[in-house]
Structure 1
Amino acid sequence: MNQLRDAVMSNTFYMMKLTAEMQRVARILEEHHIEVLMLKGPVLAYELYGDLAHRNSKDLDMLVDISKVEKALGILMEIGYIKKFDSPYILNSWKWKDHHIALVHPVLETQIEIHWSLNPYNNSHRLDFKTLWNRKRSMDISGCKVHYLGFEDLFMYLISHGARHGWFRLRWLLDIDKIIRFNGAIQQSHDYMEIHDCKSLVGQAYYLASQLIRTPLSKEMKELATSQRSIELASYAFNLIKKSEITDAETLKNYLKQIKSPKRRMIMLLGRLYPGPMDAELLPLPRKLHFLYIPLRPFLWMWRRIRQRMVLKGRHEYD
């Protein structure tokens, strides 16, 4: 009980610290005319559990309009944040190959992820920032007004996020359970499943929640949860959940491939034809010559593969 009490106290203090930082950063960004939507963090703790102490978060996820990402990053770096991974981006590949950039504050020991899309490889015009902003909700926390996703958008985002990470943190399923138990409106979300392109992922989440934490499902939910596709995706996730964390790169790669819809797979395949940070790291070119990465992309890809095989071969010979 003492260990449990200490853990709760430690989490409460950290969530209070995270809440204060969320208020500070949101206020600074809004002063610079950058609208912000909170995705999870303290807002979700209040929204679903009514108390900061009842949920933990390691960072702050903030969604901004893609046209204001670079401005937001500049402001955050001015107040002490640094990029967690400073990979060289070329030809604006970050705008559609990635969906967020992580920053850390070395003094405050807090982390912020600036998102411009809810999911990677998302090209849906029905999910642009303006649309999500128009459906937003607002919450007053200690006299500070913060904005977050509308109900259906939040539910679909939480499912997509949990599925993308293999549901290895069971608290993500507890969030889904909480929403299902206390909001029957979720049964009317078929249109949002199509908009977010995550119908099969919703079925996966329903099945996992019903099997692992006995979440009650309506008739419509059961039909989706027991579809062949939903059960198949749930079986992949079960293997990841048993491991507690994802450490096997090949297992994760295969899982991420399985959960993508045909449309997302096509976008991802097309994305492989476009230059990215690894190309710039392998062959640094001056900015004026970045256009050369497009015709050089196949050769650079082959070069990386050859180098990887040589490294693996060297390891096997050493062993």
Structure 2
Amino acid sequence: MEDNFSLEVKHIPKELKFILEIIKKEDVKELQSYLKEWLKDIDWNLFLELTIHHRVYPLLLGKLKMIDQSLIPANVMKSITNLYKLNTLQMLHFSCEMEQVCKMFDKHQIRLLVLKGPVLGEDLYGDISRRTSGDLDFLISIKDMDKVNELLLKNGYKKDDYIKTVLNDWRWRHHHVTYYHTQKKIKLEIHWRLNPGPGLEPTFNELWARRRISSITSFPVYYLGREDLFLFLVSHGARHGWSRLRWLIDIDKLVKQRIDWIKLARLLTKYQFNYVGGQALVLASQILSMSITKEMTTIIKGNHPKRLAQGAIFYLERMVNLHNEPVPDEIAKYHKRYLFLLMSNKQKVLFIMSFLYPYPEDAETLPLPKLLHFLYFPLRPFLWAWRKTMKHALLQGER
């Protein structure tokens, strides 16, 4: 189907375009012939950096092994091979722990949905070793949070208490908490929402009702239905600016499955993710040459998805890692504007209104007994103004 989604991509590094072509080419002879045209001035160090940053080495290795090995520097092949082996071992390790966690939670009658990890490798790529993962992500009902916390602590996990909260704002401002097992060297992210708030999204009961069962373990492991998985993956990828190709490749793989596009369109509309879904499809069509079908056009409407897709090219032009603090000022400022543009009008209203709700910083500025925390609502404008004044005075004093 013809489209008019052409994006400006001339500033994407040649090495990243090279990686994309390797991933996209299916015919070995065509791939080898194509490679020779690119190899004249490839920066192999940058190629390797980008391969690692975008977490695509499991996909590249199989392709590179099929071509004339004299075309690829030996150290590059060795590095990618080692990374693939380490990832395979990690995915096997994660699969084992994922099954154990599911057993443990089931024993204590806690419903659990796996969000990413090995189940996505199997579901989207047909092999757990072909997708990378740095941790295990689980979704639970928020009413089970205390029980889950007690259970994980009892079984050797330590909670990362990085969330500051006042008046229970953690319930909607945040969406997950992290646990780490020092002996197993495994990090778990326990989600009670798919995305940070404010914003509407499916309830846990709705997601549970549409769940699927994974075949990679002997004990039942449940994960999201296809349409729910699409919603989760596009909202997650968009929130991170699609700064890693792996997230976009997930979308390319997912849309090749049997998705109910009418059902998906309704789901995206209900939870205000229309533009984000359209952005993902436009990006996948332009970056990965994914075919846009007639069914997909129900999600790609108007020019806004294309504008959002063009906005995400900023992250592919640079090696952006939003998880490494501090984020450079130029990127932080751009990302703040970009996130606001992702929102629908209703989401923008909710976001702006959320500033009226007290922040933990208010409690730090003026500590009050817990029984008086409700006073932070009328006091918030004054506390915010006080912090701004003090910050400005501090900056003036440093000059």
TM over 0.5: yes
What displacement does 1:122 show?
Answer: 5.2
Distance 1:292 1:122 in 2: 22
Please say if 1:84 is aligned against 2:146. no
Return the match for 2:225 from 141, 150, 153.
150
Identity %: 39
Give 1:36's aligned residue. Answer: 112
Please say if 1:59 is aligned against 2:135. yes
Please say if 1:285 is aligned against 2:361. no
Give 1:135's aligned residue. Answer: 210
Please say if 1:308 is aligned against 2:391. yes
Instruction: Tell me if structure 2 keeps the 8 A contact 1:88–1:281.
Output: no
Q: For this pair of structures, how many residues does the alignment match?
A: 315
Instruction: Tell me if structure 1 keeps the 8 A contact 2:227–2:263.
Output: no
Instruction: Tell me if structure 2 keeps the 8 A contact 1:180–1:186.
Output: no
Q: Report the residue type matching 1:193 in the other structure.
A: L
Question: For residues 212-245 of structure 1, what are the alpha-carbon distances to aligned partners after superposition, in whole Å with 9 as ceiling and x for unaligned?
Answer: 1101111343575473101111121111222221
What displacement does 1:130 show?
Answer: 0.8
Give 1:102's aligned residue. Answer: 178
Give 2:92's aligned residue. Answer: 16
Instruction: Tell me if structure 2 keeps the 8 A contact 1:38–1:61.
Output: yes
Q: Report the residue type matching 2:357 in the other structure.
A: Y
TM-score by length of 1: 0.91
Question: For residues 90-115 of structure 1, what are the alpha-carbon distances to aligned partners after superposition, in whole Å with 9 as ceiling and x for unaligned?
Answer: 21111112222222233322221111
Compared CA separation, residues 60 and 278, structure 1 to 2 (3 A): farther
Give 2:238's aligned residue. Answer: 163
Give 2:37's aligned residue. Answer: none
TM-score by length of 2: 0.74
Return the match for 2:189 from 110, 113, 116.
113
Distance 1:229 1:172 in 2: 21
Question: For residues 142-197 of structure 1, what are the alpha-carbon distances to aligned partners after superposition, in whole Å with 9 as ceiling and x for unaligned?
Answer: 31211111111111111111011100011111011111234354465211211332
Return the match for 2:268 from 172, 190, 193.
193
Return the match for 1:294 from 354, 357, 377.
377
Q: Report the residue type matching 1:93 in the other structure.
A: D
Instruction: Tell me if structure 1 keeps the 8 A contact 2:248–2:280.
Output: yes
Return the match for 1:221 from 267, 283, 296.
296
Question: For residues 3-31 of structure 1, what are the alpha-carbon distances to aligned partners after superposition, in whole Å with 9 as ceiling and x for unaligned?
Answer: 22111000011111122221222222222
Give 2:145's aligned residue. Answer: 69
Please say if 1:211 is aligned against 2:294. no
Q: Which runs of 5+ in 1 are unaligned?
A: none
Instruction: Tell me if structure 1 keeps the 8 A contact 2:226–2:259.
Output: no
What displacement does 1:82 show?
Answer: 2.7
Distance 2:177 2:390 in 1: 28
